[in-house]
Each structure stands twice: as C-alpha cells, then as structure tokens.
Structure 1
Amino acid sequence: MEHAVEGLPGGLRGYQILATVAHRDLPNQQAIGVQLAIDRTALTCQIDALAEAGLVERIPDPADRRARKVVVTAKGAGTLPRFARRVAEAEAELLSGLPLYEAEAFRDLVGRLAAFKGFKSESSQP
C-alpha cells in the first residue's frame, strides 16, 4: 500500500485523510481524527503537509467561525482518483490469492473493524 501512495504527502495516512476530507463532510479536524483514530498532534502534521502540497485547505466553519474545517481543493480532488485507483490495484493484488467470496468477507470484516468505536490506533497506544 505504501508503494501505491508513493508521492502523496503522509503516505497511507495522508491518503486516508485526503479521501475522508473528499468524501465526508466532517465539521473540523477533531472529527477527522476521531473518524480515522489519529491523535491530534499527528493529524495536524499530516494536514499541514497536505495543505502545503495544495491538496486540502482549512477554512472557517460556516456553522462556527471559531472552528476550522478541512476541505479538499480542486488539486486534491483531481489527485485523489489516481491514488484511489493505485490503492484499489494494490488491494486486488494482495487479495488475488483468495476466492472472491473470501476477499469480500475480508474487506467487510476489515471495514467493520475500522468502524468499531473502541478501536485504538497505534499512535494512541501507551
């Protein structure tokens, strides 16, 4: 997967953040961190790198001017499909040895695990 996102600031985490910002309307950085189980400090550095590359930007949240919302830029929206395709190809290669029903079951289980509210990322482990 790291090879698939080579050249994207932040590597795989950068890809996850860019895809989340592009596909979900989250109100602020904190919500992105909760969604992806990334601690605040690491998330800020990742978003800074994506913003410096012109892929995302922070704007005032229309609902709360004190908060900053992270949005995808036109450049980010144009860049994301290329990396999404590369990630999908890497995933297909990784799962190519499994029968289709097992690959689908694996994707489903990983998705459910990632969505599990009790999940703790490596960065949040003591």
Structure 2
Amino acid sequence: MSKTAPQDPVILADQARATRSTSAGWMIQRLAGDLNRQMTTALAAHDLRLDQFAILMSLAETSGTTQTALAKRLNMQGYTVTRAVDALSDRGLVERLPDATSRRAWNVVLTDRGAALMPQLFKVVAQINADFLAALPDPAKERFLRLLTRLVAARGAGSEAEIGEGGT
C-alpha cells in the first residue's frame, strides 16, 4: 500500500477556493438553489409546488400532452408527474382526456380555471427574475440571458421552443 505525502492544508484550501471560484457548475448550483427557494415560497401563496408549476407552464405552451411526454419534456420521473397531475386535477386546474390515437394514453390539458391562473404565475416568474437579475445593468442582463440560452441549447437541455429564440 502506497502512502501519499500529506497535503499542506493552507495550499489545499487555496486550491479548493480557486477551483470553486472558477466553477460554472458550482455557481449555477448556488443560483439555482436560490431561485428554487424563492419560487417555492412564491408558489406556496398559490398552493403550488415547483413540479406542479412546471407542468402548468408546459401545458400552457402545449396543452393536450400525455403524462409520459410531460415527464420526458420536464425531465421528471413518471410517478412525480402522475402525483402532480393528480393534485392539479383535484384542484380543477387540469384534466385528463382520452387520447385519440391510443386507448391506454390520456392527454393532460389545462382547464379554464388552470388557464385563468397562468397570468398570475407569469407575474410571479417575472418578479423573481427581475429580482434575480437586479444586480446587473440592463445590457449585461440581456447578454447573460443570451449566453444562458446558448448554453442550454448547446448542452441539449431544452428545445428551441422551450428556451426561446436561439441564443444569439
């Protein structure tokens, strides 16, 4: 068994700080956690969870989607989508309709009540995003969003429809 020389704790700490301070992943994780906490708090006022919100947003864009397609599009487990759709259905925000091409599949659609809630949710998102980006001057905000859009598209983390106009 080989024994490695002990690392100087000061050098190790400096290397860790340098690595963290240049890590896009670490910074994005921190920001995502902050945004998730803010969204969770804001959505609670509407008696919604993040998974339910994501489903409502997806259905607002493309209503009449199967639960399987929702799970794939939102990168969620099928059982998570099922439970969230059940809760949204119990509240009258969505409903399941039989699929015209498959007797086993059901399409999930926004109800009138669900559609009426969406403008309030759009305002929640707009306010949280405005607060999030407030530390940046306007030109930097626009550039930041363009760069994020480009990264999302390059990493295959969303379709053009999901991430906007191409990220130029």
Decide: shared fold, TM above 0.5: yes
Aligned AA for 1:30?
Answer: T
* Residues 75-110 of structure 1: per-residue CA shift (max 9 Å, x gap): 000011101111111111111111223323333415
Task: Between 85-94 and 100-109, report the one with greater CA deviation.
Answer: 100-109
Say if 1:77 and 1:111 are closer, same or farther in 2 by CA, change over 3 A.
farther
Q: Which residue of 2 aligns with 1:36?
A: 74
AA at the equivalent of 2:124: R
| Count of paired positions | 119
1:89 and 2:147 aligned: no
Considering fraction of residues, name the structure with more strand: 1
Structure scoring higher RCO (CA < 8 A, sep ≥ 6) equals 1
* Identical residues among aligned pairs (%): 34
Farther-moved stretch of structure 1 (44-53 vs 94-103): 94-103
Relative to its length, the structure with more helix (as a share) is 2
Normalising by structure 2, we get a TM-score of 0.62
Alignment of 1:12 with 2:26, yes or no, is: no
Q: Which amino acid in the other structure matches residue 113 of structure 1?
A: V
Q: Which runs of 5+ in 2 are unaligned?
A: 1-38, 159-168
**Compared with structure 1, are the counterparts of its residues 114 and 58 closer, same or farther at alpha carbon in structure 2 (3 Å cutoff)?**
farther
- Superposition TM-score, scaled by structure 1 size: 0.80
Residue 99 (structure 2) pairs with residue 61 (structure 1): yes
CA drift at 1:111 = 7.7
Taking a change above 3 Å as real, the CA distance of residues 77 and 45 of structure 1, as seen in their structure-2 partners, is same
Q: Is the 8 Å Cα contact of residues 10 and 46 (structure 1) preserved in structure 2?
A: no
Contact 2:71/2:81 (8 A) holds in 1 = yes
Could you tell me how far apart the structure 1 residues matched to 2:47 and 2:94 are? 11
Q: What is the deviation of 1:5?
A: 1.5
Choose which of 80, 83, 99 in structure 1 pairs with 2:118. 80
Classify 1:93/1:53 alpha carbon distance in 2 versus 1 (closer, same or farther; 3 Å). same
Is 2:85 the partner of 1:50? no
Paired residue type of 2:134: S
Q: Structure 1: which amino acid aligns with 2:135?
A: G
Tell me, which stretches of 5 or more residues in structure 1 are unaligned?
120-126
CA RMSD of aligned residues (A): 2.4
Q: Distance in 2 between matches of 1:10 and 1:36?
A: 17
